[in-house]
Chain A
Amino acid sequence: MHQYIVKRILLMVPTLFGAAVLVFFLMRMIPGDVCELRLAGTGSTFDPASLALCQKELGLDKPMFVQFVSWVGGFFVGDLGTSMWTNQPIVSEIALRFQVSLQIALMATVVSIAISIPMGIISAVKRNTWIDYAVRAFSIAGIAMPSFWLGILIILGLLITSQAWYGVPWMPPITYVPIWEDWQVNLSMLIWPALATGYRYSAVATRMTRSAMLEVLREDYVRTARAKGLIEKVIVNRHALKNALLPVVTVIGIEFAFLMGGLVVTEQVFNLNGLGKLFVESVSNHDYTMTQSLVMLVALIFVVTNFVVDLLYAWLDPRIRYS
């Protein structure tokens, strides 16, 4: 097992390096640069000397290979540099957003698990009954509805209903307060995006749980358990569920990693100051250093999440552990 872990960790290095090369050169293929955007973006006249000075200050006048070595070199000693747009240290800019994205990802995952596992099980156990149909309709609706759209509906719904009931329109706060500073404000802001994304996320996991459970419930050992006279609750919870969870864990793991950096539009709908919003802003501002660091962070999150999922596999399935 130790060898397996070491091997997996070593494999992360070339994966991350490949991501670094890709993002560095792809970013520079996009026409335009941060200085042009900064100076010409308002359409007013500007001094061309300012453009040259800005490019020099940011090192954009140096050969691309030199820029790459400088960035990758900094990455290996933990220095991500400064944002080309705000000139602030990247580590502090990301750290701020990381806690927001992490909390949303965790809350959405909890919402998703709380919905998907019980519903997937019930749907499989009550196969082809009205309960199964209702669960399937609910989960298909979740897959079909983008979470940002659901988010917009939630905000509008809150505004309209609060105005109708209390005479004053209410919407969630739009500035983030950490949970340890004021848990009520924090949750009143984050619960809605967690519900919007958690629902969509649960829809995929519900479908996966249902199909995995159906497959497992047809297995010989389940029939044997029934033949032994075990009650259905024990058969489902103890014998079937644990085996059915393997693909579900994979789906939840991938979705969790996605939530950390991929809530691009949902974060904007709720004005969450998370990694997704930062990602969009840095790409549209041509902030190379910030975008590169964010891509590396998201790649790292995916690699680590996959690694954790693999370890969970081994815990859930002894055959993997022993092989």
Chain B
Amino acid sequence: MSSGLKTFAASVAVTAALALGLSGAMAAETPKKGGVLKFVVPDEPPSFDGHRETTFALIHPIAPFYSLLTKVNPENSSDPTDIICDLCTEMPKATDGGKTFTFKLRQGVTFEDGSPLDAKDVKATFHKIIFPGEGVSSARKAYFVMVDSVEAPDASTVVFKLKYPSSAFIPALAMPFNFIYDDAKLAQDMHWYEKNVLGSGPFQKFERQAGAFIKGTANPNYYEKGKPYLDGIEAIFAKKESLRVQAIRGDRAAIEFRGFPPQSRDDLVKALGKDITVQESDWNCVLLITPNHRKKPFDDVRVRRALTLAVDRWGGSEYLSKIAIVKTVGGIAFPKHPLAATKAELEQLAGYWPDLAKSREEAKKLLKEAGIPDGFKFTLNNRAVDQPYKIVGTWLIDQWKQIGLVVDQQVQPTGPFYDTLRKKQDFDVSIDFNCQSIVNPLLDVSKFISADLSDSQYGGYIDRDVDKLFNAMNETDDTAAQRKMMREMEKIILDEKALGFITMWWYRIIPHRSYVKGWNVSPSHYLNQDLANVWLDQ
């Protein structure tokens, strides 16, 4: 682990311990066996195939049925760089100049139907994800561009060969969607897992009532002896946020793993006192502002710079965090990650200057130079979701009003919102977002590369400087060099060319029943969800 990573790991561990109030005594509690963990999930998964889907609505109810090759450390889940083995026995050291990773697998692991899980299953799984073949959909193929081949030389060994050394590989491998599937089932039908659940995870006996719940019971043959502690799990689908909050209050559910707004946390704490425990974390999701580079006057860098210079991120963080699930001021990489900008570095960028008055004066000057009259009107395209989209959108309108711009907010349901971004492309400026599972900034910033290379960059710009930096950063395993290139990329995107902007990073708030133990908040609502370590103190 590099010194940067060590410092980061130590700082997040301390922060987490303080924030969560986890005393040594609490951490030393002996887990109790038994009980069923009931938790609420806002949505239902479209299918049960983790390789195909992208939503947390699949992870929360389905992840407990599966194993992964590697995963974030459930006991230190606030540190996204702490990746440990799940099915493997030891995290491998790269050989062949950083291009080969050899994983040794646990022996005696079986799928729920009793068939053994070995290297050929791991190989078949990653082949499906990385080289899906015709007629097979893989949502995260792009995260494995560095992989050249996956081989299984014997039953307990899997070898990944890379095209070039890449620090993005190990985090990509630990993505929580990479469920290990049975090679035989895949050979039979590559779509079998879309409608069926058969894993080797802590829970088994999948039971579903469409639209209502998914249940599972403890796997008696689970390879981590003594786990899971729970007898079973029950994921209850509840669309309405107020109902999910009340469900925890009325003890119909013990926890919701995505996150609640600050007001709901405060209401629950007020109503239940010591029966509620709150865990909080920075969140690997960010709201972006995307100006439409295809449209005048947003093709003018002066106008775009003025838009970002007008925004008071430091002040907004303080006030918005009281009402919305945003808090952390950051650049293009997940805040506090070794590759992220420090506060001092951020303060050098347009829109992050400590002197707000100076920043807004500069914004007005740029608008004047660009020939934008006072009272210029444009529309902010936004998604019809309260938290945090509409709240942040409303705040932005006020920020831009401070430099004489008049902004209307056009709020659309998710379908039409994406249609505007992807097909119509007729918006002026739009809210956009980037939400990732494992913290892997090297790949997470692919959102900012040129539109002809990234299908999720909606501003429509082409910038080869950004593309070059992105590729160079991903083709080295030198953290210092990566960090330097990340700063250069950030400077181009957020400041010099003002290609797109960051508003604020999200903030995850999980108030749960105090009897739920062994679950630690992580920087993503996708991570640490196999629930093998969770127990109920009842």
Chain A positions near chain B (C-beta within 8 angstroms) = 30-33, 36-48, 50-51, 53-54, 85-88, 92-93, 96-97, 152, 155-156, 158-159, 163, 168-171, 173-176, 268-271, 273, 277-278, 280-281, 284-286
Task: Give A158 to B247 CA distance when docked, in angstroms.
Answer: 12
Give the Cβ gap from B64 to chain A, nearest Cβ, in Å.
Answer: 18
- Alpha-carbon distance A97/B251, docked complex (angstroms): 25
Q: Which of B52, B236, B414, B454 contacts A45 (CB 8 A)?
A: B454
Q: Which residues of chain A are near B416, meaning CB under 8 Å? A: 30-32
Whether the Cβ atoms of A53 and B135 lie closer than 8 Å is yes
Name B's interface SS. mixed
B residues near A (Cβ < 8 Å) are: 40, 44, 46-47, 52-56, 135-139, 141-143, 194-195, 209-213, 234, 236-240, 242-243, 246-247, 249-253, 271-272, 285, 413-420, 422-424, 432-436, 443, 446-447, 454-456
Q: Which residue of chain A is the closest to B416 with respect to CB atoms?
A: A31
A174 touches B209 (CB 8 A): no
Contact B250 A43 (CB under 8 A): no
30 interchain pairs, CB-CB under 8 A: A32-B414, A36-B418, A36-B422, A38-B46, A41-B54, A42-B56, A43-B285, A43-B456, A45-B447, A47-B142, A50-B138, A85-B46, A86-B44, A87-B195, A88-B210, A96-B209, A97-B211, A155-B243, A159-B246, A159-B249, A163-B271, A168-B251, A169-B249, A171-B250, A175-B236, A176-B212, A269-B240, A273-B210, A273-B237, A284-B415
CB neighbours of A158 from chain B (8 A): 250
Whether A44 and B211, one on each chain, are in contact in the complex, defined by CB atoms closer than 8 angstroms, is no
B243 touches A277 (CB 8 A): no
Closest-by-CB residue of A relative to B47 is: A87
Could you list 5 further interchain pairs (A-B, Cβ under 8 angstroms) beyond the known A159-B246, A174-B253?
Answer: A50-B139, A87-B195, A271-B243, A281-B44, A281-B211
Chain A residues with Cβ below 8 Å from B271 are 159, 163, 169
Interface centre among B240, B247, B424, by most chain A C-beta atoms within 10 angstroms, is: B240
B335 to chain A, nearest CB (A): 17
Q: A40-B456, A173-B252 are in contact. Are A87 and B236 (CB under 8 A)?
A: no
Q: Report the Cα distance A82→B40, complex, angstroms.
A: 26
A125 to B285, CA, bound (A): 64
* Residues of chain B lying within 8 A (CB to CB) of residue A85: 46
Note all chain B residues with C-beta closer than 8 A to A268.
Answer: 239-240, 243
**Interchain nearest-CB distance for B191 vs A (Å):** 9
Known: A31-B424, A40-B422. A46 touches B236 (CB 8 A): no
- Contact at B436–A44, with CB atoms within 8 Å? yes
Residues of chain B within 8 A (CB-CB) of A175 are: 209, 212-213, 234, 236
A49 smallest CB distance to B (angstroms): 8
Nearest 6 A/B pairs, CB to CB: A32-B415, A171-B250, A31-B419, A32-B419, A43-B433, A31-B416
Q: Which residue of B lies closest to A43 (CB)?
A: B433
A284 and B210 within 8 A (CB): no
Decide: A171 near B413, CB < 8 A? Known: A40-B418, A45-B454, A273-B211. no
